[in-house]
Amino acid sequence: MPNEIAQDGLTDNNAAGLAYLTIIPAIIFLVAAPYNQKPLIRFHAWQSIFLNIAWIAICMIGVIPILGWLIFGVGMLVLFVAWIMVLLKALKGERYKLPFIGDLAEKQAGF
């Protein structure tokens, strides 16, 4: 059931959305029961972790003068829009796959 309420009162949709706020809730949801047993939450937690890794990689590229700055600017804009999209989809209970990152998340979540 996609909107099942866990023991602490979080619905699956809210937990999946919360996983995108920072990497910390995503890791907690992968470790703590009953969240780690729910496919929707596991998928969004993994996608959030991989999105954070992409964010870090873009930040590291931003250190390179001129071309790195351009890639950083465009990359941050793209990642911000992607983050808003997946956050809204997670809150609706949908499993929206980002290109490449979504495939990795599906594999890790066991789909």
Domain boundaries, the chain: 12-96
**How far, in Å, CA of 109 to CA of 103, rounded?**
10
Q: 109: how many CB neighbours lie within 10 A of its CB?
A: 19
Query: Measuring CA to CA, how many Å separate 16 from each of 63, 68, 73?
Result: 32, 32, 28
Average pLDDT over the chain reads 91
Structure token digits, residue 5: 């309420």
Contact indicator for 99, 47 with CB cutoff of 8 Å: no
Give the pTM. 0.87
Give 44-92 pLDDT, tens digit per residue: 999 999 999 999 999 999 999 999 999 999 999 999 999 999 999 999 9
17 in Cβ contact with 91 (< 8 Å)? yes
How much is the pLDDT for 7?
54
